[in-house]
């Protein structure tokens, strides 16, 4: 029987165990949005005490146009690399691997934060941002953002990260393209098929792979289901994950869609297992499940029951680096 303490391969990368600290924003960036000593100390403590095999750092924006909130860390310029090198060094010294999560907020970004008007797949208000109506992206803009993601992934590699995670969840830009709630396009990126709704993702995956090479792991955090009428469904999620695997993704990280990291009416450990179980049955690459897990025992049970290959523990680690010892059952 598979155990939480068992090692696992992500592409060509070996992890010591299957416990993961998923991305959670700290808003501790410096004035220039670089990683500060405070950010490094936060991650060093969690690498040392939280018993995880992998840390996925908080989402870093690939261009200021996609900056989600004040205090968010940037990976948009080469000037950010030295700060990230300090960050990866302090995590690696504790024997833990680390991925960078890279993102663009799309229509969730506000002009008062970015200095630019918001953009998205369609001229549709974001469900959590009704202040500004986004402009519909042109195909040229889609290709431009694709390049930004690839450049960000290269910076992550140059900074010493062990892999990169593409953020397509919680209502950010790529999730907006995946969700029929936000994507009303009728072109090749439009909502009438999962194939088209993941076209942007595939182009980013290929651009990153061409930039970083075959050995650098690529993860996809997918907001697989909107849990709302007219939104993306679990069947959509399974189809998308098959597509991502076929196009070179090494790890699938399942979570919520346009409504964020919650599943309405659910708070039990592993509350996204309604997605992770069918996805795990449909693909051969590892599946990471987060949501509602607060103890080692809960994580062990989810692994033993075959709900996922890896388990993420978010808020418990965010609150307490010593969570594993303090919640031992």
Catalytic residues: 172
H helices of the chain, in order, are: 37-49, 81-92, 111-114, 139-158, 173-178, 194-197, 199-212, 234-246, 273-282, 296-304, 315-319, 323-326
Tell which phi-psi region holds residue 227, choosing left (phi > 0), alpha (psi between -120 and 50) or beta: left
Instruction: Let me know: does 241 contact 224? Beta carbons within 8 Å.
Output: yes
Q: Which residues of 185-195 are buried (b: 16+ CB within 10 A; e: fewer)?
A: beeebbbeebe
For the beta carbon of residue 318, count every other beta carbon within 10 angstroms.
16
How far apart are alpha carbons 105 and 61 in whole angstroms? 8
DSSP state of 5: T
Phi and psi dihedrals of 298, rounded to 5? -65, -40
Tokens of 28: 């501790």
Name the β-bridge partners of 6. none
For the beta carbon of residue 216, count every other beta carbon within 10 angstroms.
21
- What does DSSP say about strands 8-10 and 13-15: parallel, antiparallel, or unpaired? antiparallel
* Residue carrying the six token digits 């993941």: 198
Query: What three-state secondary structure class fits 214?
Result: coil
Q: How far is CA 177 from the centre of its chain?
A: 15
Tokens of 163: 């892999």
């Amino acid at each position: 029987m598979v155990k939480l303490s068992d090692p696992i391969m992500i592409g060509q990368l070996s992890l010591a165990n299957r416990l993961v600290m998923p991305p959670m924003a700290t808003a501790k960036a410096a004035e220039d949005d670089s990683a500060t000593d405070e950010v490094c100390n936060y991650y060093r403590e969690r690498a040392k005490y939280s018993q995880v095999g992998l840390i996925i750092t908080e989402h870093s924006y690939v261009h200021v146009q996609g900056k989600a909130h004040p205090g968010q860390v940037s990976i948009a310029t080469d000037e950010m690399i030295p700060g990230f090198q300090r960050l990866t060094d302090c995590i690696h010294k504790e024997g833990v691997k680390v991925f960078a999560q890279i993102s663009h907020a799309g229509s969730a970004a506000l002009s008062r934060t970015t200095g630019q008007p918001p953009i998205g797949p369609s001229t549709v208000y974001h469900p959590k941002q009704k202040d500004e109506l986004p402009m519909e992206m042109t195909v040229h803009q889609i290709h431009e953002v694709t390049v930004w993601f690839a450049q960000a992934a290269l910076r992550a590699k140059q900074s010493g990260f062990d892999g990169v995670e593409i953020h397509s969840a919680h209502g950010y830009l790529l999730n907006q393209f995946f969700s029929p709630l936000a994507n009303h396009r009728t072109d090749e990126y439009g909502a009438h098929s999962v194939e088209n709704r993941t076209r942007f993702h595939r182009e980013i995956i290929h651009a990153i792979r061409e930039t970083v090479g075959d050995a650098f792991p690529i993860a996809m955090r997918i907001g697989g289901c909107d849990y709302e009428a007219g939104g993306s469904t679990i069947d959509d999620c399974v189809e998308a994950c098959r597509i991502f695997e076929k196009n070179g993704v090494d790890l699938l990280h399942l979570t919520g869609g346009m409504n964020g990291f919650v599943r309405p009416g659910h708070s039990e450990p592993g509350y996204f297992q309604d997605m992770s179980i069918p996805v795990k049955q449909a693909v051969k690459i590892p599946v990471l499940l987060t949501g509602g897990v607060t103890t080692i025992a809960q994580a062990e049970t989810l692994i033993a029951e075959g709900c996922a290959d890896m388990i993420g523990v978010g808020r418990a680690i965010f609150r307490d680096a010593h969570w594993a010892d303090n919640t031992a059952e």
